Amino acid sequence: MSMNNVGRPTRPEAAANDGSTGHETLTGGRGLLQDEALIFELDCWNKTGVDLPPAGPPSDDLAGLLRDAPIGLPGLSEPEAVRHYVRLSQKNHAIDLALYPLGSCTMKHNPRLNEKMARLPGFSDIHPLQPQSTVQGALQLMDRLAHWLKTLTGMPAVALSPKAGAHGELCGLLAIRAAHEAAGNGHRKTVLAPTSAHGTNPATAAFVGYTVVEIAQTDDGRVDLADLESKLGDHVAAIMVTNPNTCGLFERDVVEIARLTHAAGAYFYCDGANFNAIVGRVRPGDLGVDAMHINLHKTFSTPHGGGGPGAGPVVLSQALAPFAPTPWLVHDDDGFSMVEHAGEEGAKTAFGRMSAFHGQMGMYVRAYAYMLSHGADGLRQVAEDAVLNANYIKARLKDVMSPAFPDGPCMHEALFDDAWLEGTGVTTLDFAKAMIDEGFHPMTMYFPLVVHGAMLIEPTETESKQELDRFIEALRALAGAAQNLKGGAGETERFKGAPFHAPLRRLDETLAARKPRLRWKPVATAPLAAE
Ligand SMILES: *Cc1c(COP(=O)(O)O)cnc(C)c1O
């Protein structure tokens, strides 16, 4: 029987639980969670949640685009629709349920104060097409947020409108391309990125029309300076480097990387997704960075991973500031206003806009609330605690799992390889699936690509020592079970068959990624025809 940490048996069923699947249920439901069909399969054509007045005659200004078949929306009553989505949400993991250790993703707690601020009518009940004189408070908040982002990064300009980290990368590279073209350097068509780069880096560069060349990595997980130098030249437009990098390590030579890059006439794009590890301690502007996106949904605690839209403002150096996208804010005697068009107010060759309006207002409010509630010293402590928590995990697991870079401390995430699983028959994937059965969401797997069978754990600063200890104990128990398999003892099924206790068992993730089935086709269309 298992006891909790105060010696109380909280799981009387534990003795009987041998880890097997137990009996199958008759309905596919499981412990108050019903099996859930697709919303279209729940559909009943003659049911509706709201009564709408009959539609008037169709307007004919749609140039032949008028729909002539029924739209085919599923018919559900309001409680059925509510239950459908609540049931689906119960099958998902969420940061409000437990630690969410996805490395590189910075799944930190979303403070409730942020939510309260974002729901203030002055922020939530406004529209981007309202006259600017009626939304001065919202514009002022954007201006204050921009001020904090510039101050924290030591950069002179910021484009707020990109809507995700990857969108920010696109914005930064488009500014870099515009700057090169304005200087008659349009022939620079190569972007350099380390082998450990996040997939969005080469994808963004390719999307902008650049050829991507990899920079090698040293044995201690950093950019290989000699290799970088050999690949720089008159053909290089920019380098894209993440710092701290995706191995969870600070690029110690970052100032030299910037110097070499600038000497070759190229720009330094920094992937700022890991800013959480250094906010308040290091200003990227001091390191020679020309452009960097900031994931408000990572460092500044706005929801993501199904919880809300991202926001990826990009800070720009003096050299790139004139190439920022529209819109941006200006302030004069009449208050705040937004510059909407290239050519106004000193924009050189602005490439246009990154989004239809000004970006994610709700996320600006949340991020700014987070900044004000922490203050400058609090934000510095965010970085320090994030790094402390990751090092605690690394220290407490290094005797049972193998850190990819054992020497020295890590930054905000602890990276392990799969060397410690050798001879057990268990893979990184099996281990991750077994974690689900134990109630823990897996860490990031098989990324970065440079580390074999990588397991990247990012606890963030919002986890307490107690939460970290529970997570660590679960991983230690599982690691022990895996080690037992070496001698041929123990149950392989615990890993190979996992997950047993999740709503769905092991899925063919490759097939799902390669051949996603994104469309639902009705089995029988008779009810629609009768309409
Ligand atoms: C999250 C992340 C990105 C992409 O950010 P999105 O907001 O998901 O588009 C890019 N690089 C790194 C290192 C990341 O962790």
Residue 380 domain-assigned?
no
Residue 10 domain-assigned?
no
Residue 522 domain-assigned?
no
Range of the domain at 221: 115-370
Contact (Cβ atoms closer than 8 angstroms) between residue 196 and residue 249: no
Asked if the model's pLDDT at residue 422 lies above 60, the reply is yes
Residue 411 one-letter amino acid: M
Ligand 1 shell residues, CB under 6 Å: 104-105, 164-166, 198, 200, 242, 246, 271, 273, 295, 310, 312
The reported pTM is 0.91
* 3-class SS string, 289-324: CCEEECCCCCCCCCCCCCCCCCCCCEEECCCCHHHC
Given pLDDT bands bounded at 50, 70 and 90, which one contains residue 2? low
Residue 7 domain-assigned?
no
Residue 434 domain-assigned?
no
Contact (Cβ atoms closer than 8 angstroms) between residue 386 and residue 277: yes
Asked if the model's pLDDT at residue 529 lies above 70, the reply is no
| Ligand 1 center–CA 200 separation, angstroms | 7
Specify the pLDDT at position 235. 98
Residue 258 domain-assigned?
yes
Given pLDDT bands bounded at 50, 70 and 90, which one contains residue 10? low
Residue 432 domain-assigned?
no
Specify the pLDDT at position 56. 81
Model pLDDT for residues 28-40, shown as the tens digit of each residue: 888 888 888 889 8
Model pLDDT for residues 257-303, shown as the tens digit of each residue: 999 999 999 999 999 999 999 999 999 999 999 999 999 999 999 99
CATH of residue 173's domain is 3.40.640.10
**Residue 76 or 61, more confident:** 76
Asked if the model's pLDDT at residue 437 lies above 80, the reply is yes
What is the pLDDT of the chain when averaged over all its residues? 91
Dist. CA 338–CA 161, nearest whole Å: 12
Quote the DSSP letter at residue 24: P
| Ligand 1, atom 4, residue with closest C-alpha | 165
| Ligand 1 center–CA 460 separation, angstroms | 16
Place of tokens 């108050």: 32
Specify the pLDDT at position 22. 60
Residue 394 domain-assigned?
no
Backbone dihedral angles phi then psi of residue 442, each to the nearest 5 degrees: -60, 160
* 407-422 average pLDDT score: 97
- Among 107, 295, 301, the mutation site with the greatest number of ligand 1 atoms within 8 A of its Cβ is 295
- Among 106, 247, 271, the mutation site with the greatest number of ligand 1 atoms within 8 A of its Cβ is 271
Q: Which atom of ligand 1 is nearest to the CA of 271?
A: 11
Please count the structural domains in the chain: 1
